[in-house]
Amino acid sequence: MSKLRANVRLRKYAQLADRKRSHSDTYTRSTTMSTLFESNNSPPHLSLEDTVSISTVFHPGSQPQPDSILSSSDGVLFYVHSPTLVQLFPNVFRHSGFAPLSDPMFRDILFPLDIPANELNVMLHALYRTSAAVHSPGWDTLLASVDRMPTCNITPNRLILPSTPIHELLLSYASLKPLELYALGAFYDIHSLAVSSSSYLLSYDIATITDRMAERIGAIHLKKLMVLHMERSLSFRAILLSYPLYYPSTIDCAFQDQCRLNHVWALIAAYLVWDSRADLSIRSLKLALDSPENLTCDVCRQVLQDRIKNVLARWSSVKRTI
């Protein structure tokens, strides 16, 4: 949290401490905006209880000029520009039975939220269309932030778009948390996240997906993932076992020699098909296909190389995402 907080001495922090002790009174025990912005005239002797934490990004001098103050559940203050927050979601952070953030009353009083500072920071960056990567939020923080959005009247698939920093930040975990990211994209109908993460699930054993995770993914996207694995497996078999390696016989290469070449190819193809994986790389496939015993016929060698090139080209063109 050291990157997120900066300690600033402010007057009347007792009111904020009292608010933290009694969250049910957050709308009656609030601190005025003028008091929170006042920092140059602080008393010369303040105790540690007079210290409050302020976001290093969403601070009084940030742009656009802040007109409201949000307070996280762990006592960090975020100075925000309310028109920016309500532009896409007019009822953002609105509590049941209370006025929205755009109400003029919140220009003069604190707007308390029951949200941890690290999650609120990610959500504000997303609403501002800026990147929270500078704070290095972990996957659990990002996931919790997105899961909290609907309770704050934020629709994730309207906010997390392919061109936004929050989208890129989530995608940075695709190789580390592919299944969790796929489930996130599926659950909130963020198709771009599901598609991008699905390529990292080609090596995943679908049978090990828990019931809880399957429920979060949903039937449609679970089926899409299974179909992806199945289609790649079927395509791989079709590519390897498509046609024999025969060509017109020559003086140096009789039909029996070509049969020997096809027999070797069939053995290698059968082994690869039996142990086929949806995530088989081009490099691994090439190494396996280049292993037949030495061929004395130049035409056989050329036919074999042409077949290998054809197999690699066709396998590389098989769809890798849902």
Cβ atoms of 322 and 195 within 8 Å: the answer is yes
- Check whether 40 has a pLDDT greater than 50: no
Considering the chain, what is the average pLDDT of its residues?
Answer: 82
Region of 227 please: left (phi>0), alpha (psi -120 to 50) or beta: alpha
Which amino acid, 97?
G
317 CB-contact burial (10 Å; exposed 0-12 / middle 13-18 / buried 19+): exposed
Residue 293: per-residue pLDDT: 61
Give the three-class secondary structure for 39. coil
Residue 25: per-residue pLDDT: 33
Enter the tokens of residue 228. Answer: 């992806």
Cis ω before 64 (30° cut-off from 0): yes
Phi (first) and psi of residue 76, to 5 degrees: -95, 135
For residue 32, the cross-strand partners are: 109
Candidate from 3-7, 102-106, 114-118, 184-188 with smallest mean pLDDT? 3-7
Cβ atoms of 225 and 214 within 8 Å: the answer is no
**pLDDT above 90 covers what percent of the chain?**
55
Give the three-class secondary structure for 109. strand
Residue 202: per-residue pLDDT: 95
Query: Which carries the bigger pLDDT value, residue 121 or residue 256?
Result: 121
Q: How far apart are CA 314 and CA 312, in angstroms?
A: 6
Give the three-class secondary structure for 272. helix
Cβ atoms of 137 and 168 within 8 Å: the answer is no
**pLDDT above 70 covers what percent of the chain?**
79
Q: How far apart are CA 5 and CA 243, in angstroms?
A: 66
Residue 110: per-residue pLDDT: 87
Mean pLDDT of 83-98: 86
Residue 106: per-residue pLDDT: 84
Query: Which carries the bigger pLDDT value, residue 183 or residue 269?
Result: 183
